[in-house]
Amino acid sequence: MINPLIDSLLIVLAVALLLIVVARIISGKGIFRPSFEARPILNKSELRLYRMLCAELPAGWTVMCQMSYGAFLRNRSFKRYMTVNAKRADLVVLDPSLTIAAVIEYQGSGHYGNSKASRDKAAKSDRVKRQALSEAGLPLLEIPAKFDQALVRDIAQDLSGLGDPEPMPRPAAPLQPQLSARRPKAAVAAPSPRRTVPSAMSSIRPVR
């Protein structure tokens, strides 16, 4: 009867020792403990878009990168809040008062991944973002993989309210000695309607 009891105790001790080793590895005190590494905040295309946008916006405007949706959205339902808290906005445009003018999502070539599962996951995440921003009344601009300076310039002008300014009256031509002393009226062009900021659910058309 003694030997089976000793065998059972040895098995229990072996299992306990194995659990201790596994616990140490999981807690980070074991062998596998790699160092943290810095990584770029934006990829090359996102960085290109960021620099273009900063160059086109007026002084005092700010562009934030990889900003958490939970940092600028809130919800009385903790469950709904957690659906967006961990999501990141590629770019967030702030006016001089640090009020959000628009959230920009760059839909690059790798946005939807290479598999059906990744595409479905990205599409679901996009729907959640659109819904949340629509409820909050914040404009969402979804930039396609192909974009150019003209597109970014139009976006910046629309957001900052500088698009299509009313034309200034042309100065009257200087009087010549042989002309009548009566000054001609300055020609004033009819003001063109100002473009409005794209709505929260709209997408920017891709550049061909």
Residue ranges making up the domain that contains 122:
44-160
- 22-42 pLDDT, tens digit per residue, is 776 666 555 677 899 999 999
CA distance 21 to 205: 56
List of residues 6+ apart from 33 with CB closer than 8 A: none
Which range (15-19, 24-28, 55-59, 189-193) has the least confidence?
189-193
CA distance 132 to 113: 23
Asked whether the beta carbons of 68 and 109 are under 8 A apart, the reply is no
Residue 77: inside a domain, yes or no?
Answer: yes
Strands of the chain (E only): list them: 62-68, 88-94, 100-107, 140-144
Residue 71, pLDDT score? 97
Residue 196: inside a domain, yes or no?
Answer: no
Average pLDDT of span 157-163: 84
Residue 3: inside a domain, yes or no?
Answer: no
Residue 107: inside a domain, yes or no?
Answer: yes
Which strand (E) or helix (H) includes residue 71?
helix 69-72
Dihedral pair phi/psi, residue 66, rounded to 5°: 50, 50
Number of domains in the chain: 1
Which range (68-82, 118-132, 154-168) has the least confidence?
154-168
Higher-confidence residue: 95 or 120?
Answer: 95
Residue 91: inside a domain, yes or no?
Answer: yes
Burial 55-82 (b: 16+ CB within 10 A, else e): ebbeeebebbeebebbebbebeeeebee
Beta bridge partners of 30: none
The mean of the pLDDT values for the chain is 79
Residue 112: inside a domain, yes or no?
Answer: yes
Residue 8: inside a domain, yes or no?
Answer: no
According to DSSP H, which parts of 108-200 are helical?
116-136, 149-160
pLDDT classification of 63: cutoffs 50, 70, 90: very high
Residue 76: inside a domain, yes or no?
Answer: yes
